[in-house]
Structure formats: C-alpha cells, structure tokens
C-alpha cells in the first residue's frame, strides 16, 4: 500500500481565517513533505520533515506553519493568507530521508483564498 | 528554485503511437523519478531509477537513467486514451546528508487525438 491521504479535498478561506490541512500515511515512512503547485506549473517544495523534525524550510512565509505531531501525520496551519496563496497543496512521504527513496504523493488540497 | 529541462512541453499524438520525452539537468542527481498527474489530482509515481545507466520498464512504460546522471528519458509504447495527462520528471540528490525534496521538470502535456 502506497497511500497518502489528505483532507480536506477542497478549502475556501478568507484572508482573516485560520485553517489547517492534514496529511496521513501508514507506510512507516520517516520523511514527509509539503509542496505547493500553481496551475500549469510543477510542484515546488515548501517543507521537509525528517523523523518528525523540520529539516528544510524553503523560505516559506510565516503565514504557513507546518507541524508533525507523530510519524504518520503532517499538518499545515494557515493564517492570514493572501489570494496568491491559492494553489494545490500536496503532501508526500518517503521511506527514509536523504537516501533518494521515491516519494509518494497524496491527492492534494485545492485551496482558494478569497 | 532549480528546475530540470523537460521536453517536449506538449505532444499531440494519435492513439497507438509511441511517445518519448526526456529531461536534462546541469546537476547530477542520484535518483530520477517519473510521475503522471491528472487534473486536480496528485502526481502518481510511474518509474523510479536509482543507478546510472539503469533501464526500467513498467508495462508499456520504459525509462532510463542517463550514464552521466544528468538526464533521463521516458518512453510510452502503443499509447491509449488513458495515457492523457501531464508527465513530470523529478530528480533527487539523495546524498545522505539529510532529507531533500524533489526538483521537477516543467512537465510534458500528452494529448491523444482521436
């Protein structure tokens, strides 16, 4: 089983709202990732968690706050977003960090900021 | 951030034709991955390549890891309507020095004409 699940599937939020995106995997993977994908563009890396610790932050604005409560869960907390943050947010996981193992992606959360 | 050079950008083919696309990079990667993405969905892993010169097949798909570790190609034989979508190549350094994310090509949009 190589399933990564994400909720919600769609999210519409105002610029003053606080919301969270959730990601879950039960493959025993120890690396988890957040990517952002704009229309007609490839995914862009935002954050990497290795063994539940944040190891890479690709200069993402502080209005995006990641959290890894345990080895199976990854959250992305959103606050005071801008309309340009509207995008498909993808979660991914891989077996071990840093060893080049393949990454498996979830279906994504389509975020619209109004 | 860094991107891979993926070509062609789009392909219009007839059902039953063979398809070929490739990616090149100015940097060495230790892992090359090929994904397919349907509209509104997350990327689905097609083939993973780990060794320079490696040639791997998955059904009608064949991919190779270039001997210089700076390029990869994907071939699809006897295309069918469900092959329509966007194909992304992705490279990962995987140097063992810590988790790293994927660097993506810009994608090849495959369109099959009736």
Contacts B50 to A, Cβ<8 Å:
100
Shortest distance between the Cα of A44 and any Cα of chain B, in A, equals 8
The answer to whether B56 faces chain A, any CB pair under 8 Å, is: no
Q: Look at residue B106 and tell me whether its pLDDT is greater than 70.
A: yes
Beta carbons of B101 and A41 less than 8 Å apart: no
Q: How many whole angstroms separate alpha carbon A89 and alpha carbon A109?
A: 5
- Which tens digits make up the pLDDT trace of A65-103? 999 999 999 999 999 999 999 999 999 999 988 888 899
Q: Look at residue B96 and tell me whether its pLDDT is greater than 80.
A: no
Q: Which of A21, A43, A54, A107 to mutate to test the interface with B (most CBs of B within 10 A)?
A: A43
Closest residue by Cα to residue A112 from A85, A91, A76? A85
| DSSP H helix total and E strand total for chain A | 0, 11
Q: How many whole angstroms separate alpha carbon A101 and alpha carbon A84?
A: 32
Q: Look at residue B1 and tell me whether its pLDDT is greater than 60.
A: no
- The tokens of B85 are what? 């979508």
């Amino acid at each position: 089983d190589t399933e990564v699940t994400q909720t919600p599937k769609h999210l519409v939020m105002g610029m003053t709202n606080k919301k969270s995106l959730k990601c879950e995997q039960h493959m025993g993977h120890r690396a988890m990732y957040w990517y952002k994908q704009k229309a007609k563009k490839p995914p862009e890396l935002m954050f990497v968690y290795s063994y539940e610790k944040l190891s890479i932050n690709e200069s993402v604005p502080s209005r995006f706050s990641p959290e890894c409560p345990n080895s199976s869960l990854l959250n992305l907390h959103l606050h005071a977003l801008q309309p340009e943050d509207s995008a498909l947010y993808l979660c991914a996981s891989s077996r071990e960090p840093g060893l080049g193992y393949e990454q498996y992606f979830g279906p994504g959360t389509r975020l619209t900021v109004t | 951030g860094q991107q891979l050079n993926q070509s062609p950008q789009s392909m219009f083919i007839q059902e039953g034709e063979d398809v070929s696309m490739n990616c090149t990079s100015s940097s060495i990667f230790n892992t090359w991955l090929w994904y397919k993405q349907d509209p509104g969905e997350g990327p689905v892993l097609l083939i993973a390549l780990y060794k320079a010169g490696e040639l791997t097949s998955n059904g009608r798909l064949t991919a190779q890891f270039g001997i210089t570790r700076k390029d990869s190609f994907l071939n699809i034989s006897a295309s069918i309507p469900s092959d329509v979508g966007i194909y992304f190549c992705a490279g990962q350094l995987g140097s063992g020095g810590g988790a790293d994310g994927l660097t993506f090509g810009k994608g090849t949009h495959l369109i099959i004409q009736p």
